[in-house]
Amino acid sequence: MTDAPTPSGDLEERGDAIFAQLRTSSEAVSEERGSASEEGLDGSTEDTPDPAAVAGAARPVGAEDGLEQSKVAAAGDDASPTDAEPTASSEASELPPEAIEAPASSATPSRSRPIPPLPRIMAIANQKGGVGKTTTTVNLGACLADIGYRVLVVDLDPQGNASTGLGINIRGLQASMYDVMLSDVPIEDCVEASSVRNLFVAPASLDLAGAEIELVPAFSRELRLKQALHEVREDYDYVLIDCPPSLGLLTINGMAAASEVLVPIQCEYYALEGLGQLLRNVGLVQKNLNPSLEVSTIVLVMYDARTKLSDQVAAEVREHFGEKVCRIVIPRTVRLSEAPSFGQPIIAFDPTSRGAVAYRELAKEVSGGSA
């Protein structure tokens, strides 16, 4: 694999165009916000906020106070009118889809997303770490299972976070994805049930960290996962592959086995810089291993409506990738970060949180509705 082809739909050029536009427009943003607002993640708001802009941009998907999320019934009218954070409703679990859609400034005209036939095998990939791959894999899988689909989460990340996030103790496993990849153990022998009905996990183990090196001399090393999933693909409606934050053999195995790639993009500039390289690698896998592979879905995650940068990145990504970008965006919330420490997806940990509502709506958009 030496020549990198252009991915279908010139996605690579679109990704490169994003970076050029963001570099130019980021200077104007920094002038408006001032030097004190350079740290967009610290929750700081504009020096002289426009109340109309705050109401229109911050309310749809702004970050929530995780410590108060469990008290959504009491949040209501206590918020300060100058506070840029949105107020939690007592009926948070029944928020309409508009409550977590992209703001008007970054939205595109509504278009129906093409829904491929079942079963669907999706690789959740982005070589940059900390952009929400595992969080999206776990919670999207749980929400798909919650609306009636049978889902298998394949954990290819040696860190095993998708496994522990679903309550699996990766240190006490009889078989794991390491054995599937290196010892030809049938994948059904390592599948574990989760606490969510219809959701199953093929867990990773710490041994998987050495699999990259051990796979180098192996025969058909890029197709090990594809061969393993062939035996069980008809048993599940969705197979979600959590790829590691790299572009090594494990990620290539995930892409070779999948028919689609789902890319979570953090709403920050640095999260976009590796997108071009990811798309080039998807093109390499298309050409050499899996001609049917395509980037079908892009999900905007960690959206913080208190910062102009989030809105700007979302608008640029939507402009360049069109209908591949999901209408639903995932807000930055503390509850989404807390849920893995309890070994639960967000819909089990805090069903009324904004993150739970967002992932439920994302599952409906990705799948086209209930099973």
pLDDT at position 88: 39
Split into its structural domains, the chain has a count of 1
pLDDT at position 76: 40
User: pLDDT-derived band of residue 83, with 50, 70 and 90 as boundaries?
Assistant: very low
Distance CA 343, CA 164 (A): 6
Each residue of 15-27: pLDDT tens digit?
555 555 545 544 4
Pairing between β-strand 238-242 and β-strand 120-124 as defined by DSSP bridges: parallel
pLDDT at position 14: 56
Residue 349, in any domain of the structure: yes
Q: What is the CATH number of the domain that holds 200?
A: 3.40.50.300
Using an 8 Å Cβ cutoff, are 146 and 360 in contact?
yes
Comparing 21-30, 86-95, 280-289, 356-365, the range with the smallest average pLDDT is 86-95
Residue 92, in any domain of the structure: no
State both tokens at 9: 């739909």
State both tokens at 355: 């993150």
Residue 98, in any domain of the structure: no
Residue 138, in any domain of the structure: yes
Residue matched to tokens 């069903």: 351
Distance CA 64, CA 121 (A): 32
E strand or H helix that includes residue 298: strand 294-301
Which residue has better confidence, 216 or 147? 147
**Domain housing 290:** 117-367
Residue 17, in any domain of the structure: no
Residue 52, in any domain of the structure: no
Comparing 98-102, 164-168, 196-200, 356-360, the range with the smallest average pLDDT is 98-102
For 294-326, letters b (16+ CB in 10 Å) and e give bbbbbbbbbbbbbbbbbbbbbbbbbebbebbbb
C-alpha angle 298-302-303 in degrees, rounded to nearest 5: 85
Task: Give start and end residues of each alpha helix (H) in the chain.
Answer: 11-33, 51-61, 72-75, 133-146, 161-164, 177-183, 211-214, 224-230, 249-257, 269-273, 275-288, 308-321, 334-338, 346-349, 354-367
pTM of the model: 0.71
pLDDT at position 13: 60
Query: Can you say how many angstroms the Cα of residue 197 is from the centroid of all Cα atoms in its chain?
Result: 21
Using an 8 Å Cβ cutoff, are 303 and 332 in contact?
yes
φ and ψ of 29, to 5 deg: -65, -45
User: pLDDT-derived band of residue 91, with 50, 70 and 90 as boundaries?
Assistant: very low
Torsion-angle region of 237 (φ positive above 0: left; ψ -120 to 50: alpha; else: beta) = alpha
Say whether 120 sits in a helix, a strand or coil.
Answer: strand
Which residue has better confidence, 123 or 212? 123
Residue 69, in any domain of the structure: no
Each residue of 300-344: pLDDT tens digit?
999 988 888 888 888 888 888 888 999 999 999 999 999 999 999
Each residue of 133-161: pLDDT tens digit?
999 999 999 999 999 999 999 999 998 99
Residue 331, in any domain of the structure: yes
